[in-house]
């Protein structure tokens, strides 16, 4: 499977996952009327790939957010089969350690649970935080984001279908952001 196909499958998992969000994500402040709403969000984003000998290419996305909670996605693909899954673990990035279990199933519509994927390992900040700012317009809102990003190093593995492989994480960072949504009138 190509990387773009993996991301599409992962995106589908994210959409299904977001339909079932509860708790913090639903409680997140929403802008209404003409008053801006500001949230302060801290968390991590890690995206990785690996190669399983018998089952092919793996894509893993780990996301934590102090307002919207934790989200994980795993996609495993070969020429013969595709498996995907998503979860919302209570803890994901925990004082330098990562451990999560994600149930994975075939994406061809079969309903049986195929297996579980276990992602575990360590992470640590690298260097100093760098300033970050962005401004965009989306769905009738002006969204201004300011804060910091900080690279993190990871040492993670995935275990699925009885195979274990090291994860290569090219996109890994921690963030600390102030996000202001103002309705555009």
In angstroms, how far is CA 172 from the centroid of its own chain? 11
Q: What tokens does 40 get?
A: 């302060």
Residue 46 DSSP SS3 = strand
Structure tokens at 74: 């795993």
* φ, ψ at 7 (rounded to 5°): -65, -35
> What rounded mean pLDDT belongs to the chain?
85
Mean pLDDT of 136-158: 97
Q: List, in order, residues 6 or more apart from 122 with CB less than 8 Å away.
A: 96, 97, 98, 154, 155, 156
As a whole number of angstroms, the distance between CA 31 and CA 155 comes to 39
Q: How many Å is the Cα radius of gyration of the chain?
A: 18
Which residues form the domain of 88? 3-183
- Does the pLDDT of residue 18 top 60, yes or no? no
Buried b (16+ CB within 10 A) or exposed e, 50-84: bebeebbbbbbbbbbbebbbbbbbbbbbeeeebbb
Residues 76-92: tens digit of each pLDDT: 998 888 999 999 999 99
pLDDT of residue 14: 40
Alpha-carbon distance of 58 to 165, in angstroms, equals 9
Model pLDDT, residue 108:
80
Tally of structural domains, the chain: 1
- Output the pLDDT for position 111: 62
- Residue 4 pLDDT more than 50? no
Instruction: Tell me the HSE value of 56 on the side-chain side, using a 13 A CA sphere.
Output: 17
Helix (H) or strand (E) holding 162: none
Q: Is the pTM of the predicted complex or chain greater than 0.95? A: no
Percent helix, percent strand, percent coil in the chain, to nearest 5? 10, 65, 25
């Amino acid at each position: 499977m190509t990387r773009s196909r993996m991301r599409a499958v992962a995106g589908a998992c994210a959409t299904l996952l977001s339909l079932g969000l509860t708790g913090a994500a639903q409680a997140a402040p929403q802008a209404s009327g003409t008053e801006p709403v500001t949230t302060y969000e801290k968390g991590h984003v890690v995206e990785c790939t690996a190669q399983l000998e018998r089952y092919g290419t793996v894509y893993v996305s780990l996301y934590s957010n102090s307002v919207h909670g934790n989200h994980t996605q795993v996609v495993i693909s070969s020429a013969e089969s595709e498996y995907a899954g998503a979860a919302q673990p209570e803890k994901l990035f925990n004082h330098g350690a990562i451990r999560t279990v994600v149930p994975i199933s075939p994406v061809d519509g079969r309903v049986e649970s195929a297996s579980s994927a276990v992602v575990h390992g360590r992470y640590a900040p690298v260097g100093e935080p760098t300033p970050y700012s962005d401004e965009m317009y989306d769905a009738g809102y002006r969204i201004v984001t300011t804060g910091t990003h900080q690279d993190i190093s990871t040492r993670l593995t995935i275990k699925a279908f009885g195979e274990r492989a090291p994860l290569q994480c090219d996109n890994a960072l921690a963030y600390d952001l102030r996000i202001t949504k103002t309705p555009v009138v």
